[in-house]
């Protein structure tokens, strides 16, 4: 694991950090970083070795997402969503579907994304209102997904839609190739406060028709997929992304404290209040790191309390990143306020965590249910 962490850390410094500022300021997807991820094999992390991949799991997923997010929360999040989508296909897809998707990822270095949320259902993305018609081995879609990360960039998008029964709560998970007919994105609708390179634009389906072979798993199994695979990999991934944000906040705050020297020779770090601020940020960053590592380990081993640990890690990392960004802004002072360094960007990135589906409020309710043995959701 240490070797994977070190390699991901170096990759992020070499191929993500140089584009992080432009990704945010220009509100553009980190194309250069993702091209290099493909070249170095990161897109095949979860693919089994027998299909040409690396055969890794939840713990490696968590570590790499964290290291990528330290240099760009956008890059960490978008990479995380690829792994989540791919893992769903690998767990529930037919053999033919798995082989087709994996071959394209390995040979053409493409990646995947999720298209779950809708304007009407918001954070309750597992209750889709999009229209789906099933006939003659084809599936026709009409409707809009509201915030689709990696819009126009991914090769495949996973879409939740009602199954053919129309029974409430009975849903299917579908793969929509980006070049499918009737698919387009409303790119001008995206203007995020933070994680601006995610380009989370609405995805529109107008009589979009796909073959039924692009349905993942048996009809009506979408909810099972969401809570058995999507949720643990997605929520652990978000905990990892925001742990990366926290670690970067600590690094930036400490470095600024050391390098900011007054005319009388006193450094910012010599001030007791600044020492307290740095201690608070560092301790929360370390707490998030080890909570998330334990959650990923527990989830990978299928332990009974894994879900509670995963939810706790995500809640803590998301909330702590906002609090620590606020404190780091005090340390950074006017320089941070004026956009020097990355503290101001990290502050904006941090605020995305509390509303990103499932939102922190929803997760807190789920955690309360999990620890008392109640059904989720």
Say what the pLDDT of residue 116 is.
95
Banded model confidence at residue 101, pLDDT cuts 50, 70, 90: very high
pLDDT at res. 321: 98
Rounded to whole angstroms, the Cα distance separating 235 from 61 reads: 11
| Residue-level pLDDT at 354 | 86
Rg (alpha carbons) of the chain, rounded to whole number: 21
Confidence of residue 98 (pLDDT cuts 50, 70, 90): very high
8 Å CB contact between 139 and 180: no
pLDDT of residue 123 exceeding 90: no
pLDDT > 70 fraction of the chain, expressed in percent and rounded = 100
Q: Which helix (H) or strand (E) holds 38?
A: helix 31-39
Least confident of 121-135, 157-171, 180-194, 292-306: 121-135
pLDDT level of residue 330 (50, 70, 90 thresholds): very high
Output the pLDDT for position 188.
95
Q: Are 1 and 43 in contact (CB under 8 A)?
A: no
Q: Mean pLDDT throughout 87-108?
A: 98
Among candidate residues 140, 155, 157, 158, the one with its CA nearest the CA of residue 211:
140
Q: What is the pLDDT of residue 355?
A: 83
What string of DSSP letters covers 269-323? GGSHHHHHHHHHHHHHHHHHHHHHHHHHHHHHTT-TTHHHHHHHHHHHHHHHHHH
pLDDT at 357: 83
Q: Does 52 score more than 90 pLDDT? A: yes
Residue whose token pair is 């020779």: 265
Q: Residue 184, Cβ neighbours under 10 Å: how many?
A: 14
In this structure, how many other beta carbons lie within 10 angstroms of the beta carbon of residue 360? 18
Asked if residue 169 has pLDDT above 90, the reply is no
CB 209 within 8 A of CB 138: yes
Residues 153-167 pLDDT 10s: 999 999 999 999 988
Query: What local confidence, expressed as pLDDT, does residue 75 receive?
Result: 98
Q: Could you give the 3-state DSSP secondary structure of residue 172?
A: strand
> Could you give the CA distance from residue 102 to residue 115 in angstroms, rounded to a whole number?
19
Per-residue model confidence as pLDDT tens digits over 346-370: 999 999 988 888 899 999 999 999 9
Reported as a pLDDT band with limits 50, 70 and 90, residue 1 is confident
Structure tokens that stand for 323 in this block? 């609090």
Here the tokens at position 294 are 């334990």
* Contact present, 204 and 44 (Cβ < 8 Å): no
- Alpha-carbon gap, residue 141 to 157, rounded angstroms: 13
Domains and CATH numbers, the chain: 2-111 (1.10.540.10), 115-219 (2.40.110.10), 223-371 (1.20.140.10)
DSSP string, 204-260: EEEEEEEEGGGEESSTT-HHHHIIIIIHHHHHHHHHHHHHHHHHHHHHHHHHHHHH-
pLDDT, one tens digit per residue, over 221-262 is: 999 999 999 999 999 999 999 999 999 999 999 999 999 999
pLDDT band at 124 (very low <50, low <70, confident <90, very high): confident
The half-sphere exposure of 216 on its side-chain side, counting CA atoms within 13 A, is 31
């Amino acid at each position: 694991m240490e070797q994977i962490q070190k390699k991901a850390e170096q990759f992020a410094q070499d191929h993500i950090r140089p584009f992080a500022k432009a990704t945010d300021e220009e509100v553009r997807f980190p194309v250069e970083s993702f091209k290099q991820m493909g070249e170095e094999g990161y897109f095949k992390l979860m693919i089994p070795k027998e299909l040409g991949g690396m055969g890794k799991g939840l713990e490696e997923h968590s570590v790499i997402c964290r290291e990528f997010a330290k240099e760009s929360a956008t890059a960490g999040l978008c990479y995380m969503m690829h792994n989540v989508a791919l893992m769903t296909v690998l767990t529930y897809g037919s053999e033919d579907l798995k082989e087709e998707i994996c071959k394209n990822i390995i040979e053409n270095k493409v990646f995947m994304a999720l298209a779950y949320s809708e304007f009407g259902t918001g954070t309750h993305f597992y209750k889709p209102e999009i229209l789906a018609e099933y006939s003659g081995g084809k599936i026709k879609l009409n409707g809009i997904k509201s915030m689709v990360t990696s819009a126009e960039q991914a090769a495949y998008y996973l879409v939740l839609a009602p199954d053919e029964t129309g029974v409430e709560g009975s849903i299917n998970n579908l793969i929509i190739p980006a070049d499918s007919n009737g698919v387009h994105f409303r790119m001008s609708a995206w203007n995020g406060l933070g994680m601006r390179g995610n380009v989370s634009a609405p995805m529109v389906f107008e009589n979009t028709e796909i073959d039924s072979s692009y349905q993942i798993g048996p009809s009506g199994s979408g909810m099972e997929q969401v809570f058995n695979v999507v949720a643990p990999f997605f929520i652990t991934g978000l905990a990892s992304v925001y742990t990366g944000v926290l670690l970067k906040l600590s690094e930036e705050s400490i470095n600024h404290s050391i390098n900011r020297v007054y005319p009388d020779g006193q450094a910012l770090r010599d001030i007791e209040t600044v020492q307290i601020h740095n201690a608070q940020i560092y301790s929360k960053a370390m707490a998030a790191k080890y909570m998330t590592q334990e959650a990923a380990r527990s989830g990978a081993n299928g332990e009974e309390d894994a879900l509670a640990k995963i939810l706790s890690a995500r809640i803590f990392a998301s909330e702590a990143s906002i609090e620590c960004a606020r404190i780091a802004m005090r340390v950074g002072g006017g320089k941070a306020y004026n956009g020097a360094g990355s503290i101001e960007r990290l502050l904006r990135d941090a605020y995305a965590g509390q509303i990103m589906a499932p939102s922190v409020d929803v997760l807190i309710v789920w955690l309360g249910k999990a620890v008392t043995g109640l059904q989720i959701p």
